[in-house]
Amino acid sequence: MSRIAYVNGLYLPHAEAGVHIEDRGFQFADGVYEVCEILGGHLVDETRHIDRLLRSLGELRMAMPMSRAALGVVMREVVRRNRVRDGVVYVQVTRGVARRDFLFPAGVAPTLVVTARPADRAKTEMTAATGISVITLPENRWERVDIKTVGLLPNCLAKEAAKAAGAREAWYVDRDGFITEGGSSNAWIVSAGGALITRPAEFGILRGITRTVTLEVARRLNLTVEERPFAREEAYAAVEAFGTSASLGVMPVVRLDGRVVGDGKPGRAARALRAEFHKVAEIAP
């Protein structure tokens, strides 16, 4: 079955789908995106993802290409046409096509691309059952990582470095020695006292949708949560660690820079949060 992509009003086979060579997304990474989980054919946390897309667009003075209701229809149609049961839908908006100039062009229509792809749920569950390895790297991104832009080259480099070290994810460490977030996930640890610790999302990280929902799951499970920065040394001493993202959910971390975290197995809190997650997330009809 050929994969179908939505590009500016058309549903096209991937091989025929494309954008202009002077699209500002291509030339300047002048675009934003969302990755939304699909579970059993349903969008997970669509409202929060579209809210965040609107925020990212607003921060960059970029226009929303269509109403949020219309975007919801397109996302569902792309999921349907690709027959995705479990996977992700990807939405990208760029400032559009214009002669290459640093200044924002006037009167240009934004570009909208929507794709969907299946994920191997059983494989992800197996990964979650054993946990992943993470390395740490110096933070080297711009300050506005709260905006979900397609400018992800530092993140690609970080994840390449992780792979070269036999790890799955890289956590950035800021100049003061505090963990910010992962290359494509938010970072969490659990203290010896059982408190969940994750960095506040006001500065230096993306406010992950999975992070937001996980905070709510934690509250419902009566787990103690401390939203505060934590240092790499504190993470080394943690009894548990995990990451959160739309594509992997709550993902236990069992090794950090080659050191065993806790007892080297996915922790109790991470497992409980993962198990309860979809009971709290918004599952769209």
Measured CA to CA in angstroms, residue 188 lies from 9, 28, 178, 208 at distances of: 40, 32, 12, 12
Of 158, 209, 250, 256, the one binding ligand PDD by CB under 6 A: 209
Instruction: Identify which of 125, 139, 183, 141 has the alpha carbon closest to the alpha carbon of residue 158.
Output: 183
Which among 56-64, 177-185, 194-202, 220-228 is the span making contact with ligand PDD, rule CB under 6 A? Answer: 177-185
Question: Which is closer to ligand PDD, CB of 62 or CB of 248?
Answer: 248
> To the nearest whole angstrom, how small is the minimum distance from the Cβ of residue 141 to ligand PDD?
8
If one asks whether residue 181 binds ligand PDD (CB under 6 A), the answer comes out as yes
The binder of ligand PDD chosen from 24, 76, 199, 211 (CB under 6 A): 211
C-alpha dist (Å) from residue 219 to 61, 250, 276: 35, 15, 12
Closest to ligand PDD by CB, 4 or 206: 206
Q: What is the DSSP letter of 210?
A: H
Q: Using the rule CB under 6 A, is 281 a contact of ligand PDD? A: no
By the rule CB under 6 A, 206 interacts with ligand PDD: yes
CB 180 within 8 A of CB 137: no
Q: Residues in contact with ligand PDD, total (CB under 6 A)?
A: 14
- Taking the least distance from each CB to ligand PDD, the nearer of 65 and 182 is 182
Of residues 142, 138, 130, 173, the one with CA closest to residue 265: 130
The dihedral formed by the CA atoms of 274, 275, 276 and 281, expressed in degrees to the nearest 10: 60
The answer to whether residue 149 forms part of the interface with ligand PDD (CB under 6 A) is no
In the block, which residue shows the tokens 């999975």? 210
Q: Which stretch binds ligand PDD (CB under 6 A): 115-123, 208-216, 222-230, 250-258?
A: 208-216
Among 78, 186, 271, 280, binds ligand PDD (CB under 6 A): 186
246 near ligand PDD, judged by CB under 6 A: yes
- Residue 155 CB, shortest distance to ligand PDD, in Å, is 6
Rounded Cα gap, residues 167 and 162, in angstroms: 5
Main-chain dihedrals φ then ψ at residue 162, nearest 5 degrees: -60, -45
Q: Which stretch binds ligand PDD (CB under 6 A): 5-13, 189-197, 216-224, 242-250?
A: 242-250
- Using CB under 6 A as the binding rule, whether residue 244 contacts ligand PDD is answered as yes
Q: In terms of Cα–Cα distance, which of 149, 129, 119, 146 is closest to 44? A: 119
d(CA 46, CA 250): 18
Q: Clarify whether 279 is annotated catalytic.
A: no
Q: Which residues bind ligand PDD (CB under 6 A)?
A: 35, 181, 184-186, 206, 208-211, 244-247
Q: Point out the residues that are catalytic.
A: 148
